[in-house]
Amino acid sequence: MSVAVFRSTESICDIENIARYFLDQKTQATALKFARGVTKTLDILALFPEMGAPWESERTRLQGVRFQNVRGFKNYLIFYRLTEPGLYVERIVDGRRDLEQIL
């Protein structure tokens, strides 16, 4: 049984910005593949929400955060937490960035 998926405003902006980057730097096909990869990964996480690895941080605010690679885009990570109503997506970012600063 799957859980509901909720997305933060930041995660929606993240998807738009990354897709825009792919449109500018790569191709429309890459941007569409990324969007589909995010959707597929979230569908899988809705079925198996504990599949993602726990994010280890000293910051109290980040306790309970998990992450999973976007399907087909190993450098892009979905950061989420499990909440009472379901899975809450906090951010979707390039894992090569300063993640502690972003999160």
**Residue 34 CA to chain centroid, in angstroms?**
11
Task: Tell me the average pLDDT of the chain.
Answer: 90
Helix (H, G, I), strand (E, B) or coil at 91: strand
Q: Which regions of the chain are under pLDDT 50?
A: none
* pLDDT at position 100: 67
* pLDDT at position 55: 85
* pLDDT at position 103: 67
| Cβ atoms of 91 and 102 closer than 8 Å | yes
* pLDDT at position 5: 96
* pLDDT at position 78: 97
DSSP string, 51-73: -SEEPP-S-GGGTTEEEEEETTE
* pLDDT at position 4: 94
**Residue listed under structure tokens 């502690």:** 100
Second-level CATH architecture of 4-95: 2-Layer Sandwich (3.30)
* pLDDT at position 86: 93
Domain limits, the chain:
4-95
